[in-house]
């Protein structure tokens, strides 16, 4: 009995010792860390990205941590694709257009003229009209994981001088997205590319006449409302298409449960932006005190909408993939128009 007791005490002590030695290794294990950069500056990033990152870090409970960086903090926005591809950063929140993605779908990121009327059009197209699959296939060719797409605000002109007709757009130097700028040049707009954080100063100094980058919520949030003073209610798109991306190798290293968590918090981020922008657009149009609202008459603005359909066909002629996306956009809009209110109002 004493021998048995000694063996028990010895084996128990060894097990306890082994546990004591193992415990510090578990406690000291460093969490997996990612660096994510968003296209948005700090003021806007507080809404469009930071809550999702904070939620992920909290729920991940020490297993993984995402460090968030705002516009141009690690690399300029136009270099986000390359930085993501080569692993300088692990994840990105942006539209394809702003980050200069060399893909066949880049032209549709940001604001593809008049393709969308409402923010709900974005998830409808990606989840029910095949766009999510197309995006994933295109980015996989470049070693990047397309995680998900979501909607932001509409695209309206915010300018220092009021816009009451198409003629008023002539010669206006405007900060906008590459594809939107390409489309708007036919109406005399002069697209200007500058770092996002420099826009407010450029408006104040006269380097810019306005922006066609966002809706009124963002104008107020980032300080452009006071620097412009005029808001054109006609928009060139009802919603911005933005995405979350990850370096493919880094994504492959993440355990499945953390991938699912990341997708869940990013989907929540998409949802938050929908109601934040939707409510803000109405509240600031009716209660905002920094911007005067103007409107180009519907019959005149109809010529811009007609020009967009021509633009779609020009883009579709550039490649098979672009033609496939345009076909889905056309099919979707035809269905919405046939469905009538509340999907589309004539």
Q: Quick one: three-class SS letters along 147-178?
A: EEEEECCCEEEEECCCCCCHHHHCCCEEEECH
Going from the C-alpha of 256 to that of each of 21, 32, 210, 259, the distances in angstroms are 29, 14, 45, 5
| CA–CA dist 113, 136 (Å, integer) | 22
Structure tokens at 43: 């003021």
Claim to verify: residue 82 and residue 143 sit in the same structural domain = yes
pLDDT value at residue 346:
72
Rounded to 5 degrees, what are φ and ψ at 300?
-75, -40
Whether 21 is in a domain gets the answer no
If one counts the domains in the chain, the total is: 2
Claim to verify: residue 207 and residue 72 sit in the same structural domain = no
Whether 48 is in a domain gets the answer yes
Rounded to 5 degrees, what are φ and ψ at 71?
-50, 125
Claim to verify: residue 203 and residue 304 sit in the same structural domain = yes
| CA–CA dist 125, 15 (Å, integer) | 58
Claim to verify: residue 54 and residue 174 sit in the same structural domain = no
Whether 145 is in a domain gets the answer yes
Claim to verify: residue 327 and residue 209 sit in the same structural domain = yes
**231 burial via Cβ count (<10 Å: 0-12, 13-18, 19+):** buried
Whether 174 is in a domain gets the answer yes
Whether 223 is in a domain gets the answer yes
Contact 157, 211 (CB under 8 A): yes
Whether 12 is in a domain gets the answer no
Claim to verify: residue 48 and residue 74 sit in the same structural domain = yes
CATH assignment at residue 266: 3.40.190.170
pLDDT string in tens for the chain (346-residue length): 444 433 444 444 444 444 445 544 444 468 899 999 999 999 999 999 999 999 999 999 999 999 999 999 999 999 999 999 999 999 999 999 999 999 999 999 999 999 999 999 999 999 999 999 999 999 999 999 999 999 999 999 999 999 999 999 999 999 999 999 999 999 999 999 998 889 999 999 999 999 999 999 999 999 999 999 999 999 999 999 999 999 999 999 999 999 999 999 999 999 999 999 999 999 999 999 999 999 999 999 999 999 999 999 999 999 999 999 999 999 999 999 999 999 998 7
pLDDT value at residue 29:
67
Claim to verify: residue 181 and residue 254 sit in the same structural domain = no
pTM of the model: 0.89
E strands along 163-316, which residues? 173-176, 190-192, 210-214, 230-237, 241-247, 292-294
Whether 188 is in a domain gets the answer yes
Whether 114 is in a domain gets the answer no
Claim to verify: residue 270 and residue 301 sit in the same structural domain = no
Claim to verify: residue 234 and residue 264 sit in the same structural domain = no
Claim to verify: residue 208 and residue 317 sit in the same structural domain = yes
Identify which of 235, 279, 294 has the alpha carbon closest to the alpha carbon of residue 117. Answer: 235
Strands 155-159 and 190-192: unpaired
pLDDT value at residue 14:
46
Claim to verify: residue 202 and residue 133 sit in the same structural domain = no
pLDDT value at residue 278:
96
Claim to verify: residue 184 and residue 293 sit in the same structural domain = yes
Query: Which residue range is the domain that position 101 belongs to?
Result: 31-106+121-151+240-281
Find the DSSP H helices in 61-120.
80-85
């Amino acid at each position: 009995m004493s021998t048995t007791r000694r063996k028990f005490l010895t084996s128990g002590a060894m097990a306890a010792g082994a546990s004591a030695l193992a415990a510090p290794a578990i406690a000291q294990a460093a969490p997996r860390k990612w660096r994510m950069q968003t296209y948005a500056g700090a003021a806007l990033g507080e809404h469009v990205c930071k809550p999702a990152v904070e939620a992920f870090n909290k729920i991940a409970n020490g297993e993984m941590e995402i460090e968030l960086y705002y516009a141009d903090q690690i690399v300029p926005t136009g270099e986000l694709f390359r930085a993501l591809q080569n692993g300088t950063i692990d994840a990105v929140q942006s539209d394809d257009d702003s980050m200069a993605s060399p893909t066949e779908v880049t032209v549709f990121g940001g604001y593809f003229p008049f393709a969308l009327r409402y923010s709900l059009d974005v998830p409808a197209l990606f989840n029910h009209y095949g766009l999510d699959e197309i995006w994933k296939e295109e980015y996989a060719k470049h070693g990047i994981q397309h995680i998900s797409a979501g909607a932001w605000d509409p695209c309206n002109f915010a300018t220092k001088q009021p816009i009451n007709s198409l003629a008023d757009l002539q010669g206006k130097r405007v900060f906008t997205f590459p594809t939107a700028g390409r489309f708007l040049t036919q109406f005399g707009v002069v697209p200007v590319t500058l770092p996002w954080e420099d826009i407010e100063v450029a408006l104040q100094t006269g380097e810019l006449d306005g922006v066609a980058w966002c809706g009124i919520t963002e104008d107020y949030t980032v300080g452009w409302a006071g620097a412009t003073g005029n808001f054109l209610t006609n928009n060139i798109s009802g919603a911005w298409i933005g995405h979350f991306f990850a370096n493919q190798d880094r994504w492959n290293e993440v355990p499945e449960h953390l991938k699912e968590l990341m997708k869940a918090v990013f989907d929540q981020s998409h949802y938050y932006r929908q109601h934040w922008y939707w409510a803000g657009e109405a509240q600031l149009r009716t209660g905002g005190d920094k911007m005067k609202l103007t409107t180009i008459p519907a019959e005149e603005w109809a010529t811009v909408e007609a020009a967009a359909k021509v633009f779609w066909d020009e883009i579709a002629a550039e490649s098979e993939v672009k033609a496939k996306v345009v076909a889905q956009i056309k099919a979707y809009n035809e269905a919405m128009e046939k469905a009538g209110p509340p999907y589309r109002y004539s």
